[in-house]
Amino acid sequence: MNTPTPGPWQVATVKEIIRETKRAKTFRLALSEPSRHFAGQHYVVRLTAEDGYTASRSYSVASPPEQSQDIEVTVERLEDGEVSSFLHDVVVPGDELEVRGPIGGWFVWRGDTPALLIAGGSGIVPLMSMLRLARRSGRSDLVHLVVSVRSPDDLYYADELPGSDTTVVYTREMPQLWARPPGRLGEDDLRHVLVERATAYVCGSTGFADHATSLLTGLGFADGRIRVERFGPTG
């Protein structure tokens, strides 16, 4: 199956806004021209001011691929962020946004091969699309998601995550009665959840991605079985 290619700019209507954490919200958007995406792809959101000035940012899709005109993107609010601040502080259900996508062909999972998903903080967003796809299609045996966050307050999709196909690593603060003490992601966190013949999908900051890649290499993953998507602050 060919990877969907991005179409022209289109209008998307904000159907729902869901609070994930103090700094992150999920926006459910109804596309005027639906296009089925692959898990791991992203859309560009563009804002246009009255004077014609535009600002655009790319946001990964968190919802699974499906025959629907709706997609979900989760956006972290950044101080001084033009687009993220507008989405968080101004946009309400019923508003319309300009979007373009789906975009991306390498960091995608098609739902039929083993995958180890490793996320740092907000890097969970595209990997959540993969996890949701696996669960929806009854193939949770193919994937395991490991997400590393500072504290319970920083965990996206907290109510949905728990399951035998997920592991949460807290680096600074942990919930009460949590077995693993706080600390950086290590080989032991990955060794016991390895999926046979899996491709690893790593998403997070540059530092986290480099660290996770080093751990995977130490566990015997060849470079060809590691796919990495790095991100930095974008407003």
Structural domains in the chain, CATH included, are 10-103 (2.40.30.10), 115-231 (3.40.50.80)
Which residues have CB under 8 Å from 37's CB, separation 6+? 4, 61, 65, 71, 101, 102
Amino acid identity, position 91: V
Task: Give the side-chain half-sphere CA count within 13 A for 72.
Answer: 22
Give the pair of three-digit tokens for residue 97.
């946004």
Distance CA 113, CA 19 (A): 32
pLDDT digits (tens, 9 = 90+) for 131-167: 999 999 999 999 999 999 999 999 999 999 999 999 9
Q: What is the pLDDT of residue 180?
A: 92
pLDDT band at 81 (very low <50, low <70, confident <90, very high): confident
Cα dihedral: 37, 38, 40, 42 (round 10): -20
- Buried/exposed code over 117-142 (b: 16+ C-beta within 10 A; e: otherwise): bbbbbbbbbbbbbbbbbbeeeebbeb
pLDDT band at 50 (very low <50, low <70, confident <90, very high): confident
pLDDT band at 234 (very low <50, low <70, confident <90, very high): low
pLDDT digits (tens, 9 = 90+) for 214-227: 999 999 999 899 99
Q: What value does the mean pLDDT of the chain take?
A: 93
With 0-12 CB in 10 A as exposed, 13-18 as middle and 19+ as buried, what is 171? middle
Give the pair of three-digit tokens for residue 228.
């990495």
Reduced to 3 states, what is the DSSP secondary structure of residue 104?
coil
pTM of the model: 0.94
Which residues have CB under 8 Å from 135's CB, separation 6+? 163, 165
Question: Radius of gyration (Cα) for the chain, nearest Å?
Answer: 18
Instruction: Write out the E strands in the chain.
Output: 10-21, 24-31, 42-48, 54-60, 70-76, 96-103, 115-120, 143-149, 166-170, 199-205, 226-231
Predicted confidence (pLDDT) at residue 89 exceeds the cutoff of 80 = yes
Distance CA 86, CA 114 (A): 38
Say how many C-beta atoms besides its own lie within 10 A of residue 38's C-beta.
23
